[in-house]
Amino acid sequence: MPIKFDQAQAIKVRHRKYDEARSTLWQTYSPPESPVFEYGKGAKLYSEEGREYFDFVTGIAVNSFGHAHPHLVQALTLQANELWHVSNLYRIPTAERLASRLCERSFADRAFFCNSGTEAIEAGIKAMRRYHYNKGNRERYRVIGFEGSFHGRSIAALAAAGNKSHCDGFIPFDYGFSQIPWQDMDAMIKAAKDSNTAGFIIEPIQGEGGIRCASDSFLQKLRSICDEHDLLLMADEVQCGIGRSGHLFAHEKSATKPDIMSLAKGLGGGFPVGACLVTEDVSVAMGLGSHGSTFGGNPLAMAVGNAVLDLTFAPELLPDVMRKGALFSNHLKALASQYPSIISDVSGRGLMIGVSCIIPNIELVNSLRERGLLVGKSGANMIRFLPPLNVTDDEIFHALDVLKNTLADLSR
């Protein structure tokens, strides 16, 4: 007898009291914000009470084309009716297609698929170290990161970023990772000359570190130093990649090319997927059996990833992201000038925008949510605006109106 989905039970679970509902989950997150969302459409989310919210955090830059985009829904639905999983024991043609499309539009020659940004970072770190190992430079293992970075929650990703609050209790040693001050030329040159250095890892636009953009000149100097010392350059584009900055990849603005790049978040448009892209020289080091992932290249994820690229590669998209980002930023800067006792600065690029707060950022986040606008937090007491890449001008102006009214109320 077929098992039927129990809709009534599903509704009952949703409405359990908070303490009961959360009692079997790890307590690793702050108490989740109310409300409970039932569905979304485009840039909007709707709560179980039927209230409308404008989603300008998009699952932390994940829902790159908003909620329930018809092209993504169709791709996932078609694939779900055909094949869910086979593993990399067998060919997955949609993975081969996604890899080809990413490589054709980037510096890379080969791609490895996984399930998250952290896994993409892990793959890149392994590739960086194995590259030198295979060349006989076994003392070159140290990976140099930058203060304020965030690369994920695994041991290696935590060690690469070196954030003490994230590392405490997990990492007793440095495990071959060091951090230097953000955009410090002298520290970068000194680290490059160290005989143990394998390469650098950098977010072209820092996310958790406060939406800080690496300058073109710094990225160009970093690239030239890596070339001079036979070091590898790894770009962490988990958050700033796939069109978020107004370029397909944020490092492209500086006309530089990394040797390794990690992607995730927006690549799946809401479906879990990660990718690590590398040059041919780096890929040679990652031979048979050197790395793997049971779910990496999963047909469901690959179908959605290809659908995301269909939308991202549309000729008008990236110029429009750049235009809308400038529109949004300029109005935010005007509000910062109007309310200097609450917000002090605006930073970022494209539709990855940070607003530095004078008041505690959580106060502004909560006030905006009460008025139906969802935004994220970031380091350095900042709020993050990460709307869908296809957000409309009207939706941007609505968000600005909500923010302006909120600032007016808070300034009284």
226-261: per-residue pLDDT in tens? Answer: 999 999 999 999 999 999 999 999 999 999 999 999
Helices 185-193 and 216-228, interaxial angle, to 10°? 10
Question: How far apart (Å, rounded) are the C-alpha atoms in residues 62 and 58?
Answer: 6
Q: What is the pLDDT of residue 165?
A: 72
Q: State the Cα–Cα distance between residues 399 and 412, nearest whole angstrom.
A: 20
Decide if pLDDT at 382 tops 70: yes
* pLDDT band at 11; cut points 50, 70, 90: low
Residue 143, pLDDT above cutoff 90 = yes
The SS3 assignment for 383 reads: strand
Tell me if the bond preceding 35 is cis, omega within 30° of 0: yes
pTM recorded for the entire structure:
0.94
DSSP states of 307-364 as a string? Answer: HHHHHHTSTTHHHHHHHHHHHHHHHHHHHHHH-TTTEEEEEEETTEEEEEESS-HHHH
pLDDT at 1: 56
Q: What percent of the chain has pLDDT over 70?
A: 95
Q: What is the largest CA-CA distance in the chain?
A: 71
What's the mean pLDDT in 374-384? Answer: 94
Pairing outcome for strands 197-202 and 52-55: unpaired
Place of tokens 């820092």: 206
Question: What tens digit of pLDDT does each residue of 351-367 get?
Answer: 999 999 999 999 999 99
Dihedral sign computed on CA atoms, order 389, 395, 396, 400 = negative
**Beta carbons of 10 and 21 less than 8 angstroms apart:** no
345 alpha-carbon distance from chain centroid: 22
Cβ pair 302, 95 in contact under 8 A: yes
Over residues 210-233, the pLDDT tens digits come to 999 999 999 999 999 999 999 999
Long-range contacts for 404-407 (Cβ within 8 Å, ≥24 apart)? 404/335, 405/371, 406/364, 406/367, 406/368, 406/371, 406/373, 407/335, 407/338, 407/339, 407/342, 407/343
- Rounded CA-CA distance 47/2 in Å is 32
For position 13, what pLDDT does the model report?
60
Residue 380 β-bridge partners: none
CA dist 348 and 245 (Å) reads 8
The answer to whether residues 108 and 257 touch, using CB atoms and an 8 Å cutoff, is no
Q: With a cut of 60, say whether residue 302 has pLDDT above it.
A: yes
Per-residue pLDDT tens over the stretch 99-124 = 999 999 999 999 999 999 999 999 99
Q: Which pLDDT does position 332 carry in this prediction?
A: 98
Q: How far is CA 199 from CA 183, 255, 288, in A?
A: 15, 19, 23
- Contact (Cβ atoms closer than 8 angstroms) between residue 94 and residue 306: yes
Distance CA 345, CA 87 (A): 47
What average pLDDT does the segment 118-140 reach?
95
**Are 234 and 107 contacting, i.e. CB atoms less than 8 angstroms apart?**
no
Give the mean pLDDT of 153-171. Answer: 78
Q: pLDDT per residue over 318-328, tens digit each?
A: 999 999 999 99
Predicted confidence band of residue 10 (pLDDT cuts 50, 70, 90): low
Residue 33 binned pLDDT confidence (cut-offs 50, 70, 90):
low
Which of residues 19 and 305 earns the better pLDDT score? 305
Distance from C-alpha of 412 to C-alpha of 136, rounded to nearest angstrom:
66
Q: What is the mean pLDDT of the chain?
A: 94
**Is residue 19 over pLDDT 80?**
no
Per-residue confidence band for 2, with pLDDT thresholds at 50, 70 and 90 = low
- CA torsion sign for 332, 336, 338, 342 is positive
Q: What percentage of the chain carries pLDDT values higher than 90?
A: 85
- Give me the pLDDT at residue 207, please: 95
